[in-house]
Homo-oligomer: A and B are copies of this chain.
Amino acid sequence: MTTPAPPSEPPAPRPVSRPGTRPLGVAAIGYAFMGKAHSNAWRNVASFFDVPAFEQKVLVGRDAGAVAEAAAKYGWAESATDWRTVISRDDIDIVDICAPGWMHAEIAIAALEAGKHVLVEKPLANTLAEAELMTAAAAKARAKGIQSMIGFNYRRVPALALAKELIAEGRIGTVRHVRAAYLQDWLADAQAPMTWRLRKETAGSGALGDIASHAIDQVLFLLGDQVTEVSGRLSTFVNQRPGTDGPEDVTVDDAAWATLSLTSGAIASVEVSRLATGRKNSLQIEIYGDKGSLLFDLENLNELGFLDATLPVREQGFRRILVNEPEHPYLEAWWPQGHIIGWEHTFTHQVRDFLTAIKDGTAPSPSFEEGLNVQYVLNAVEESAANKSTLTVVRH
């Protein structure tokens, strides 16, 4: 396992990667939780889906030894410690950013300017200002055929993709309201230790940015709608946690609540918590329309609840669709019916869609604009909570 030598000078401007001429070279930055999940997607996507040829070139991390080990384990040809060097390499066409949120803007903008297609983990950035710069860079790059995408991977849960199809087909009619919740419990223990995720300066926010972002993205994705007005509330239930040198203040939210007014007239409630004891990774979505309803829970991600209110009342009921048939989104590639898939498969689908967009020269979704849009809403929730009043969502 070698790390590439640093280039002697800044790379010259180079043309857009052209799939087809040689396999696309992929670099991933970050090898923690998200790096592991993204690597798994790159390692497996071609075994199941028909995607353009690519190579897992290099995995980038700060600790040379650890990243070298991770690269070997996760299927990368090389490892490296300096992302700047990597994004300047001619054999790298795609940069997959799994680093912490505060690093997103710098890397993504540099990569886009270097002509690399960029996939970035959510949230787009820790600050609105950074997110706006990234979005501008993405727009500029897109004009040159450079693609970018934000990793709201739950858009690639087959059950949620099916939900979107059903809504788009009018199967639940006019949506009146949505209940979205994302409940976890890893902070339920008041003695769980202080981490960077619980400090405002490193994490930006708590449950709000981390998991409400997913919930809000789903509302926008599923309904194809926009938020106009927001009423929000935040709470930190455990205000101090054990740090390395005694108790430290928790400066982000443990839980958040919001109601979102949508352009269509629908209203969505959002509730997220990291102290919902017994809920492990429960992104719950309920959508009520005048012709039907949909239910989803990420802890049972192979299932979609669907009630068709156009059937005779006598036989109406929420049906549990095991979203595991060849007829369902993404599923033909996997196993026969009833052989369920896992959480990580959403990343494989994400990479598949990203590669397909690159091949086709079309802009993949969710774009940075969509990521920024979620952040405008998160920002409004935070301000509404601080002001104790309902606010219009301001977009710059």
Contacts and interface: CB of A to CB of B under 8 A. Distances in A.
Contacts of A309: 188, 277-278
Interface residues of A, number: 92
Interface in A296-354: 298-302, 304, 306-309, 312-322, 324-325, 327-328, 334-345
Contacts of A336: 33, 186, 281
Contacts of A277: 172, 288-293, 307, 309
A231 B318 CA distance: 32
Interface string A356-377: 0000000000000000000000
Contacts of A46: 73
A152 interface: no
A240 interface: no
Given A176-B237, A255-B267, A317-B321, A344 B338 contact: no
Nearest to A307: B278
A343 to B, nearest CB: 4
Contacts of A302: 299
Interface string A262-277: 0001010101010111
Interface of A: 33, 37, 39-40, 43-44, 46-47, 73-75, 162, 166, 172, 176-177, 179, 181, 184-186, 188-190, 231, 233, 235, 237, 254-255, 257, 259, 265, 267, 269, 271, 273, 275-282, 286, 288-293, 298-302, 304, 306-309, 312-322, 324-325, 327-328, 334-345, 388-390
